Amino acid sequence: MPEREVQPQASLTIRLQVNGEEREGAVEGRTTLADFLRDQLGLTGTHLGCEHGVCGACTVLLDSQPARSCLVLAASADGSRVETVEGLAENGQLSRLQQAMWDSHSFQCGFCTPGFLIQAAALLAENPSPTEAEVRHALSGNLCRCTGYESIVRGVMAAAGGPEPAGAEPR
Amino acid sequence: MKARVPAERYTGASVRRVEDERLLTGRGSFVADAQLPGMLHAAFCRSPLPHARILAVNTEAARLAPGVVAVFDGAQMAQMASPVADPGDSPRSGGPVSFGILAVDKARLVGDPVALVVAQSRALAEDACELIQVEYQELAPVVTVEQALDPSLPVIFEELGGNRLFGPETKVFGDVDGAFARADRVVRASIRQHRHQNVPMEGRAILANFDAGSGQLLVRAATQGVNTTRQTLAEQLRMPLDRVRVVAEDVGGSFGLKFGASREEVACCAASRELGRPVRWIEDRWENLTVSGQAREESFEVEAAVTSAGRILALKVEMVIDSGAYPGFAPLVVDIVREMIPGPYRLEALSFTGSGVVTNKASYVAYRGPWAAETFVRERMIDLVAQELGISAPEVRLRNLAVRDEPPLRMVTGPSLAGITARESLLRAVEILDLTGFREEQLRLREEGRYLGIGFATYIEPAPGPRQEGGEENTEQVRVELDQDGSLLVHTAQMPHGQGHRTTLAQVAADEFGVRLEQVQVMVGDTQRTPTGFGTGGSRFAAMAGGAALHGARRLRGKVLEAAAQILDLAPAELDISGGELVGPGVPGGRLPLAELIGRIDLAARSGQLPPGTDADLTATADFDGGESGWSGGTHCCVVEVDAATGLVRILRYLVVEDCGDMINPAVVDGQIRGGVAQGVGAVLLERSAYDPEGQYLSATLMDYLLPTALDVPHIEIEHLSPVRLDPDVNFRGVGEGGMIAAPPTICNAIADALSPFGPRVLEQHLPPTRILELIGALPD
């Protein structure tokens, strides 16, 4: 069967800073930021769990604010600063948050992980010593089907260095 | 060879997971992350109608759409792959059912795949799906069990002659009539579970890559077991097994959904073979919620023969399961519910009638603790009995629970109850919760118009269950080998998708063999090297795979010590392996790194310096059936407050007292328990796979199908009981399903207790605010 070449209806070039690096790419009008990050930049750490903005797995920082990259058009992110899960560790060293999540057995299958990490990083940047209730509230727009959330909340609290949440059991 | 007991053991410690560093840094590898040169993308044109004849499928415009490489309709697909024939356990009435990989003459549910488009991108494939014209002749939808049994409605499968899939089939255990004759009263209830579903965060996914040169199909799958996926694909594609290789890496949750290969996954493999190019399909959330599969829709008519003293002598149960559109798993569920319904209780007799129907809804799939209805029905029924007799619900449980040193320690349906600690778990839960104190507070708060309730549920979970006399041999295989660098490779058919098997199996093997944890690599997910076994599911991991790893490592250790003794001219008993080194007083320098030892064994073997009969092949295989370990189990307890104005339920306290044997990694165990309870919270308070009367699916987004969030799941207290150790070596037990088995009845019992001043009988599992307001009479029922 002959394969017809695809002529994108309209292609535009975007430039943005991703994890501190200047990146450039050609996108269609309908290309989402998530697809651009994953397919064109190879940053597959950002996951797509629902593509309708509910599950939060695709959360990235867009100009320092958490955003659902499945609902953001790549074209509209032109000129922005984007931070993804790949940018959390520095020089191969896990961030304090990542380390605390690891120590706390926070995650299981790992699919929701990037969204929780980004959302939690945004919380801690704004509020370095959140209460457990504040952590739960901040994470309530991210879905995890494996853990029941307690281990995730505990990880964020440990990263904040605040008091252990009510349910914490020292190990 | 005796077990070695190292001073510091990994087993039993909450060591950090080896999986996590990768996942925390965005370097996991899920199917959607994989790219291959020339890769194409699949999308399915799906039926918008629940029940319709397909009169014509016109794919002409789609074929000509930009970026489209191929379009396959049901008739074409039927040439490329065998129909699914006689799926699951054979239906027991009517003829055997078969159906196409794509729908051919008939669509049987909303979302039924009618055509497959393969294009240069997913977006282009979806665009082309819009251009496919399907001419449907609508048929009356069969949406409920009542409709399925209505002979005036159309049949979904002509070969069944009706919409009853199997049964009714009755099995009787013990003297049911005698027990009912002796009873002081009979308590009756119609109890139902609602339809809900797995919803892993990663949906189904496949990347099929057929290599025309070698004739091999290489598949990247999101699966719970690569062997079963390979088996299904080879059968459906009519390929020799050795031409199909299935590989899996990270899998984003499953909870029972991702076994074998679904119709869509088979279709993508068939398309890859036809086109000679890689084809990837990543299920989107609409597809996942609408057609991947649903579970739990079951209804029960129950009669309990009880004495005034609160003894439950016998049950008569009639179960009907709604199998949805395409038969598969439902008959097996009925079998397990029948066997398990006595649970840890001293039931003398049981009459159980099971039947199943097909409807125009998503097909029934396994979902965490697939047989959980047995616990829901029994534990709800016990509370209803307690209510009628005016005895407290925990007290009724205590009067009926099996006592470990009193024969017959056996379910009336057959299985032995050896080693259970159900009774201890209930006593401990009552003690922790201070039931007397709670009742006082409950009464006091009622005066203020606050409605608190407490609920208990006691369960056992086959993990893997006791050895069945005359049962089929059911084992897990693990192959252990030493790599040249001294690392220990542990091959298993288990396929972790969140459970942390790469860590926990390494803990067991490292302790038994005598290496450091980082020297062990658990090898999963590649049919070219994966040993036999169907994969992760049925709580098989801890006892069966854990036991096989222990015995495999022990066997290999014996071989290595034997060969080392020959080389060093020492007795094996003078040698040990510890910390990744051969140690012993006679060892030159006191210690020899394993890598060096392996080199010397290899050299000695090749130069004929080992005496005949010495086994220098540094691999060992062990098969293990779980040994004498059998049941996990325990008691859950929940305290709720129901707001009588809004119908909202707040969980004030949630306690799990449980026994899963010796824990390999307590943090992993607790994660499994909490995750299961969270799904139970969702099942009762939020989740429902809802259809309208026309068979349209109403819960097709995550704004309609509500998963619990961090605000909905409470802190879950967990206490682990000391297990009864029946096996000389392996007393780990599976723990994956208990949380989801016990949480729904626990929460429902608590809500029913809170609502008791209003007097409703709670006979269902889904209790969202609107339903609670109906139950207390604030809204019309």
pLDDT score at B2: 46
CATH architecture of B20-27+475-624: 2-Layer Sandwich (3.30)
Indicate which of A38, A109, A150, A153 best probes the interface with B, i.e. most B CBs within 10 Å of its own CB: A109
Q: Which residues of B283-299 are buried (b: 16+ CB within 10 A; e: fewer)?
A: bbbbbbbbbbbbbbbbb
Q: Say whether pLDDT at B213 is over 50.
A: yes
Q: CB B775: neighbour CB atoms within 10 A?
A: 23
Query: Which of the residue ranges B398-412, B556-570, B601-615, B637-651 would you say has the lowest mean pLDDT?
Result: B601-615
Do A103 and B63 count as a contact with CB atoms less than 8 A apart? no
Q: Say whether pLDDT at B727 is over 80.
A: yes
- Nearest residue on chain B to A108, judged by CA atoms? B498
**Average pLDDT for chain A:** 91
C-alpha span between B615 and A4 (Å, rounded): 61
Residue intervals of chain A classified under CATH 1.10.150.120 are: 96-160
pLDDT score at B630: 87
Domain B20-27+475-624 identical in fold to domain B298-468+627-775: yes
Residues B464-486 have pLDDT tens digits of 888 876 666 789 999 999 999 99
Interface of B with A in 105-124 (CB under 8 A): 120-121, 123-124
Q: Which two tokens stand for residue B229?
A: 């996926």
Q: Is B307 helix (H, G, I), strand (E, B) or coil?
A: coil
pLDDT score at B628: 79
C-alpha span between B23 and B21 (Å, rounded): 6
Q: Which two tokens stand for residue B62?
A: 């789609």
**Average pLDDT for chain B:** 95
**A142 contacts in B (CB within 8 Å)?**
709-710
pLDDT band at B191 (very low <50, low <70, confident <90, very high): very high
Sequential DSSP letters for B546-609: HHHHHHHHHHHHHHHHHHHHHHHT--GGG-EEETTEEE-TTSGGGEEEHHHHHHHHHHHHHTT-
Do A105 and B703 count as a contact with CB atoms less than 8 A apart? no
Q: Say whether pLDDT at B610 is over 90.
A: no
Q: Say whether pLDDT at B649 is over 60.
A: yes
Residues whose CB falls within 8 Å of the CB of residue A137, separated by 6 or more in sequence, listed in order: B710, B711
pLDDT band at B7 (very low <50, low <70, confident <90, very high): low
Question: How large is the average pLDDT for residues B359-366?
Answer: 97
User: Do residues B166 and B92 make contact, with C-beta atoms less than 8 angstroms apart?
Assistant: yes
pLDDT band at B591 (very low <50, low <70, confident <90, very high): very high
Q: Is B734 helix (H, G, I), strand (E, B) or coil?
A: coil
Interchain contact B677–A (C-beta under 8 A): yes
Question: How large is the average pLDDT for residues A14-24?
Answer: 97
**A135 contacts in B (CB within 8 Å)?**
710
pLDDT score at A3: 56
- The distance from CA B104 to its chain's CA centroid, rounded to whole angstroms, is 31
Residues B87-124 have pLDDT tens digits of 655 445 455 788 999 999 999 999 999 999 999 999 99
Return phi, psi of residue B337, to 5°: -60, -45
Do A4 and B498 count as a contact with CB atoms less than 8 A apart? no
Residues B505-534 have pLDDT tens digits of 999 999 999 999 999 999 999 999 999 988
Asked whether the bond before B708 is cis by omega within 30 degrees of 0, the reply is: no
B28, B199, B677: residue with CB nearest A148: B677
pLDDT score at B132: 98
**B126 contacts in A (CB within 8 Å)?**
none
Q: Say whether pLDDT at A136 is over 80.
A: yes
Residue intervals of chain A classified under CATH 3.10.20.30 are: 11-87
Question: How large is the average pLDDT for residues A42-50?
Answer: 98
**Domain extents for chain B?**
20-27+475-624, 37-139+199-291, 298-468+627-775
Q: Say whether pLDDT at B667 is over 70.
A: yes
Question: How large is the average pLDDT for residues B582-601?
Answer: 92
Q: Say whether pLDDT at B747 is over 90.
A: yes
pLDDT score at B214: 95
pLDDT band at A6 (very low <50, low <70, confident <90, very high): low
What ipTM, to 2 d.p.?
0.96
Cβ contacts below 8 Å, chain A against chain B, sum to 190
pLDDT score at B466: 87
pLDDT score at B471: 62
Interchain contact A90–B (C-beta under 8 A): no
Q: State in words which class domain B37-139+199-291 has.
A: alpha beta
A54, A111, A149: residue with CB nearest B713: A149
Q: What is the DSSP letter of A40?
A: I
pLDDT score at A106: 98
CATH architecture of A96-160: Orthogonal Bundle (1.10)
Q: Say whether pLDDT at B211 is over 80.
A: yes
Interchain contact A134–B (C-beta under 8 A): no
- pLDDT, greater one: B4 or B530: B530
pLDDT band at B266 (very low <50, low <70, confident <90, very high): very high
Q: Say whether pLDDT at B641 is over 50.
A: yes
Residues B404-445 have pLDDT tens digits of 989 989 999 999 999 999 999 999 999 999 999 999 999 999
C-alpha span between B481 and B312 (Å, rounded): 53
Q: Say whether pLDDT at A168 is over 60.
A: no
Interchain contact A14–B (C-beta under 8 A): no
- Nearest residue on chain B to A43, judged by CA atoms? B26
pLDDT band at B695 (very low <50, low <70, confident <90, very high): very high
* Fold (topology level) of A11-87: Ubiquitin-like (UB roll) (3.10.20)
What CATH number does the domain located at B298-468+627-775 have?
Answer: 3.30.365.10
Residues whose CB falls within 8 Å of the CB of residue B225, separated by 6 or more in sequence, listed in order: B259, B493, B494, B495, B533, B534, B535, B536, B537
